[in-house]
Amino acid sequence: MALDKIGIAKRIAQELQNNTYVNLGIGIPTLVANYVPKGISVEFQSENGILGMGPFPYENEEDADLINAGKQTITALDGAVYFDSATSFAMIRGQHVQLTVLGAMEVSENGDIANWKIPGKMVKGMGGAMDLVASAENIIVAMMHTNKKGESKILTQCSLPLTGVGCVKKVVTNLAVLEVLPQGGFKLLERAPGVSVEEIQAATEASLLVDGIIPEMSLVD
Amino acid sequence: MALDKIGIAKRIAQELQNNTYVNLGIGIPTLVANYVPKGISVEFQSENGILGMGPFPYENEEDADLINAGKQTITALDGAVYFDSATSFAMIRGQHVQLTVLGAMEVSENGDIANWKIPGKMVKGMGGAMDLVASAENIIVAMMHTNKKGESKILTQCSLPLTGVGCVKKVVTNLAVLEVLPQGGFKLLERAPGVSVEEIQAATEASLLVDGIIPEMSLVD
Amino acid sequence: MINKVVPNVQEALVGVKDGMTLMLGGFGLCGIPENSIAELVKKRTKNLTCISNNAGVDNFGLGLLLQEKQIKKMISSYVGENDEFERQMLSGELEVDLIPQGSLAERCRAGGAGIPAFYTPAGYGTEVAEGKEVREFNGKPHILESALTADFAIVKAWKGDTAGNLIFKATAKNFNPTMAMAGTITVAEVEELVPAGQLNPNEIHTPGIFVQRIFQGERFEKKIEQLTIRKK
Amino acid sequence: MINKVVPNVQEALVGVKDGMTLMLGGFGLCGIPENSIAELVKKRTKNLTCISNNAGVDNFGLGLLLQEKQIKKMISSYVGENDEFERQMLSGELEVDLIPQGSLAERCRAGGAGIPAFYTPAGYGTEVAEGKEVREFNGKPHILESALTADFAIVKAWKGDTAGNLIFKATAKNFNPTMAMAGTITVAEVEELVPAGQLNPNEIHTPGIFVQRIFQGERFEKKIEQLTIRKK
């Protein structure tokens, strides 16, 4: 069965490395914070200006001056710190944030990502995404494998305006975990529980390397 | 009679404009702070990281963590603020500091200044001087008119390695106040009390415009 | 001490004219200079170029200026929460320059810090890089970005003193300290204005040298864009 | 939270090797990492390239490393208070790269902020500009300066917490926050180390993300270079 958004977030949470700083994009990536594995210390950076983001506040304890990059009210953990936007992106551009998880409209087999604009139709802007994908050592995309029309979002080449080139390292979708190979092309690493290799191949427009037996993801809480 | 260092500082203090930020270099310029005219509000920036520098501390009240750019113990006035070196030079380079007063070994008639190095003999370094002279709107040099050998420091061309080019606007020495003309050359504005135009001309190697009657400086406390 | 206090928002915005470029602090609706925006609506200043990370929502923040068609051009990184904005942009009524958030912040800092241009990897290979110089450093391509400045930078702080020193609260800091550096005239509206000497000089975020005018705002509504809570 | 605490200066400097590049915070003797410098003398690490605004005085600060000839190259802006330094430099024993103080600070910030190069007017027309690209912006010539980074950045703060967050005191701040950004490994020695949560997140100067190791210094001598006082 294909994963839901929470399933994708849970699987990405397994990618978190101990003692690292992580930036989570809006949408599915934000959910990753709820599933940090036991024994793993990570600190979440929100590019609007906080390190050490905590859970949502209790009712009536919200503070309009304390939000995350998704404009949601949040709290601050012990050890948190606030900073201005220039310093925030000094952290990002200076590669002090090791992992970026973000959503995408399209990902291509050379690691390009498109997620900010549909010409003539939708222009929300790139926000911090272009800085993040240009700089983080590790970039994981969280998204549905296909769009609402059922068309693959895992492509030979992106059709939409790019957010970054050759930057995506891994893609976790509702169907699969894919690695972007250094020489280009995707490699199938894992299948969602009950999803077959053939289903994944059918939903993938890009070239997909299937090498040996592909294990199912394990998603223990 | 030629001025002493305090006289030079007093004369420069007359150049202070109301509501401006001023950086004073080491030596004679530092003394300017003691002679701010009544009714003039200025704030002194010290490039090591303080705005709102106050007088020296009382005995036993000194704080090793509170110094000026000359490494002297100081105090902080109401409204003072501390900042890091990158921010300090953002202020300077960004032209938020309107006036810089600094010493020099040589000044040339196109406004060049040399004050950081005597090749093979003395190399103290430029400190913040190169940033200051490259950016401030107004740059006044405070110095003796001649060196210890009696040679002019007001030159057609500097012989020492430069600190900045075409930047000095005015020079106040023990003998005179000189303006650097936009087209090059010095114009004699004022004489030190009792010093003749001829004495100034004799001590000046650079071309010197003497136009009309040259008044004596007035140095009321 | 140089006194930066003006009595009210009207005095703070004297000299803001049609066709000028303004920087406005804030991220979403957090930390925006609400009093100044309300006054700009009243002043009916037109043809503004506004540099601000976002464009407000339909009925608050810069959305209020958009509704009145006072903005000719927006320079932002993310404008996704504003239907009127999207309408004006797609119809061509509004010029829009979208730039990466980090480049926006750094360009404002550069404007304030006297750095005319710098290289950044952000946007290489995208529309953002079109027409810009590309240069490789350490084997990685970068693009040349230029400084941004504004006729007026308008920021919002938590506390301020008569010398113009500012302290921001939590994530309402965001673009405010950065833009405060880059205005020919920087206007700060604060929740609490105190005499110089009342703020601890170790705790000040924006030195008063960057601020030309400061006033205590009459009213801060502080709208929340996305109220998210958890149960006790 | 990511815990950055190491038990002592020895652990803090594990991995500092001959030939490495170090950044050291401080201005004159103010805000220098004294405990770390003392340990470097003990470790007898050699052939160091030290990036520091000054070079200490003969018997304190980096002067201690100079006496032991542990420094191969100094990158500084002002070195006027140190006879041994001048002797080594003029004799050619010591390589010296003197750069404008503002360019030094901005190059360190750039190193930490992922900006490989930027333009500045400082030094145009001087020795400092030799071999560097010159470009005009707004009619004024600027030179291209590149980022500085270090194997270890060693800074001194007043207070720090276990997450590596730092607060500096007065003008002992100086180069410390800037250099803290630019170390592959940044070591902070602090006068007072407290548990995460004890520092007000609005008052922190250096976010812990920039700091890899933090420890409470055993002893801070805090020598004064120029004691200047007035009479009561």
Nearest residue to B177 via CA among B216, B205, B206: B216
Average pLDDT over residues A87-102: 97
Is D170 close to B63, i.e. CB distance below 8 A?
Answer: yes
DSSP secondary structure of chain C: ----B-SSHHHHTTT--TT-EEEE--BTTBT--HHHHHHHHHHT--SEEEE-S---BTTBTTHHHHHTT-EEEEEES--TT-HHHHHHHHHTSSEEEE--HHHHHHHHHHHHHT--EEEESTTTTSGGGTTS-EEEETTEEEEEEE---EEEEEEEEEEEETT--EE--GGG-TTHHHHHTSEEEEEEEEEEEE-TTSS-TTS-SB-GGG-SEEEE-S------SB---B--
Tens digits of residue pLDDT in B118-137 = 988 888 899 999 999 999 99
Cα three-residue angle D73-D74-D79, rounded to 5 degrees = 145
Q: What are the boundaries of each domain within chain C?
A: 9-216
Integer-rounded Cα Rg, in Å, for chain B is 17
A193-202 burial string, b = 16+ CB within 10 Å, else e? eebeeebbee
Chains A and D make contact, 3+ CB pairs within 8 Å = yes
Average pLDDT, chain D: 96
C207 at A interface, C-beta within 8 A? no
Taking the C-alpha atoms of residue C179 and residue C26, their distance in angstroms, rounded to an integer, is: 10
How far, in Å, CA of D169 to CA of D72, rounded?
31
DSSP, res A77: E
C-beta atoms of B78 and C113 within 8 A? no
List pLDDT tens digits, range C96-155: 999 999 999 999 999 999 999 999 999 999 999 999 999 999 999 999 999 999 999 999
Contact residues, C window 72-101, toward A, CB-based 8 Å cutoff: 76-81, 86, 89-90, 96, 98-101
Q: Give the pLDDT mean for D9-16.
A: 98
Q: How far apart are CA D96 and CA D89, in angstroms?
A: 7
Which DSSP string do the residues of C97-118 spell out, in sequence order?
A: EE--HHHHHHHHHHHHHT--EE
Cβ–Cβ < 8 Å for B134, D122: yes
In this predicted complex, what is the ipTM? 0.97
Please calculate the CA angle A159-C123-A152 and round it to the nearest 5 degrees.
25
The neighbour count for residue B159, using CB atoms within 10 Å, is 11
- Name the pTM for this structure: 0.97
| DSSP β-ladder status, C140-146 and A50-53 | unpaired
pLDDT surpassing 80 at residue A221:
no
Give the CA diameter of chain B. Answer: 54
Average pLDDT of the segment spanning C193-220: 98
Residues paired with residue B79 on neighbouring β-strands, in sequence order: none
For residue range D69-112, list pLDDT tens digits in order: 999 999 999 998 788 888 898 889 999 999 999 999 999 999 99
Q: How far apart are alpha carbons A212 and C185 in whole angstroms?
A: 65
Structure tokens at B91: 């202020």
Please state whether beta strands C140-146 and C117-120 pair in parallel, antiparallel, or not at all (unpaired): antiparallel
**Nearest of C215, C184, C229 to residue C20 by alpha carbon:** C184
Beta strand B117-118 with C134-137: parallel, antiparallel or unpaired?
unpaired
Size of interface B-D (CB pairs under 8 A): 191
Beta strands in chain B (DSSP E): 20-24, 42-46, 50-53, 76-82, 99-102, 106-108, 113-114, 117-118, 122-123, 138-142, 154-155, 170-172, 176-180, 186-191, 208-209
Residue B137: exposure state from Cβ atoms within 10 A (0-12, 13-18, ≥19): exposed
CB B207 within 8 A of CB B183: no
Comparing CA positions, the residue from B92, D176, B81, B46 lying closest to residue C159 is: B81
D9-216 fold: Glutaconate Coenzyme A-transferase (3.40.1080)
Q: What is the pLDDT of residue D83?
A: 85
Tokens 């241009």 belong to C117
The Cα–Cα gap between C49 and C205 comes to 27
Q: Is the pLDDT of residue C58 over 90?
A: no
Closest Cβ opposite residue B96 in set C115, C162, C210: C210
Long-range contacts made by residues B113-117, C-beta under 8 angstroms, separation at least 24?
A: B113/B139, B113/B141, B113/B158, B113/B162, B113/B163, B113/B164, B113/B167, B113/B168, B114/B158, B114/B159, B114/B160, B114/B161, B114/B162, B114/B163, B115/B163, B116/B161, B116/B163, B116/D98, B117/B160, B117/B161, B117/D98, B117/D127
**Whether the predicted pLDDT of C81 surpasses 90:** no
Tokens of D59: 């018997």
- Indicate which of A84, A93, A122, A167 best probes the interface with C, i.e. most C CBs within 10 Å of its own CB: A84
Residues of chain B with pLDDT under 50: none
Q: Kindly list the distances between the CA atom of residue C148 and the CA atoms of B73, B108, C52, C124, in Å, as whole numbers in the listed order.
A: 38, 35, 11, 19
- Across all residues in chain C, what is the average pLDDT? 96
Q: Which residue of D has its CA nearest to B65?
A: D172
Q: Under a CB-based contact definition with an 8 Å cutoff, are residues A90 and D182 in contact?
A: no
Superfamily of domain B5-209: Glutaconate Coenzyme A-transferase (3.40.1080.10)
Chain B residue whose CA is closest to C185:
B96
Which tokens hold the place of B40? 């003039």
* Average of per-residue pLDDT across D183-198: 98
User: C59-84 burial string, b = 16+ CB within 10 Å, else e?
Assistant: ebbbbbbbbeebbeebbbbbbbbbeb
Instruction: Using DSSP, state whether B150 is helix, strand or coil.
Output: coil
Summary mean pLDDT of chain A = 95
The string of pLDDT tens digits covering residues A139-174 is: 999 999 999 999 999 999 999 999 999 999 999 999
Tell me what pLDDT residue A123 has. 83
CB contact under 8 A, C77 and A127: yes
> What is the signed CA dihedral for C206, C211, C216, C220, rounded to 10 degrees?
-60
- Taking every pair of Cα atoms in chain C, the longest distance, rounded to a whole number of angstroms, is 54
Mutation site, D118, D145, D181, D200, interface C, largest C CB count within 10 A: D118
pLDDT the model gives residue C213: 98
Subunits with 3+ C-beta pairs closer than 8 A to C: A, B, D
What sign has the CA pseudo-torsion C95, C100, C104, C105? positive
D103 touches chain B (CB under 8 A): yes
Residues C30, C36, C39, CA angle at the centre, nearest 5°? Answer: 135
Confidence of residue C194 (pLDDT cuts 50, 70, 90): very high
Q: How far apart are CA A15 and CA A32, in angstroms?
A: 10
Q: Which of B15, B43, B47, B199 is catalytic?
A: B47
Residues whose CB is less than 8 angstroms from the CB of residue B94 and which lie 6 or more positions away in sequence, other chains included: B135, C111, C112, C113, C114, C181
Structure tokens that stand for B118 in this block: 């005597």
Checking B56-61 for CB contacts under 8 A at 24+ apart, the result is: B56/D228, B56/D229, B56/D230, B57/D228, B57/D229, B57/D230, B58/D229, B58/D230, B58/D231, B58/D232, B59/D229, B59/D231, B59/D232, B61/D229
Phi, psi of B90 (to 5 degrees): -65, -40
Residue type, D154: I
User: Could you read off the pLDDT of D23-48 as tens digits, one per residue?
Assistant: 999 999 999 999 999 999 999 999 99
Chains A and B touch (3+ CB pairs under 8 A): no
Structure tokens at C122: 């952000």
What is residue B221's predicted lDDT score, i.e. its pLDDT? Answer: 59
Contact D97, D107 (CB under 8 A): no
**Distance (Å, rounded) from C-alpha D40 to C-alpha D107?**
25
Q: Compute φ and ψ for B206, nearest 5 degrees.
A: -70, 165
Q: Dihedral sign, CA of A203, A207, A213, A216?
A: negative
The pLDDT score that the predictor gives to residue A147 is 95
Secondary structure letter of residue D53 according to DSSP? S
H helix or E strand, kind and range, residue D50: strand D48-51
C195 touches chain B (CB under 8 A): yes
User: How many angstroms separate the CA of residue D46 from the nearest CA in chain C?
Assistant: 27
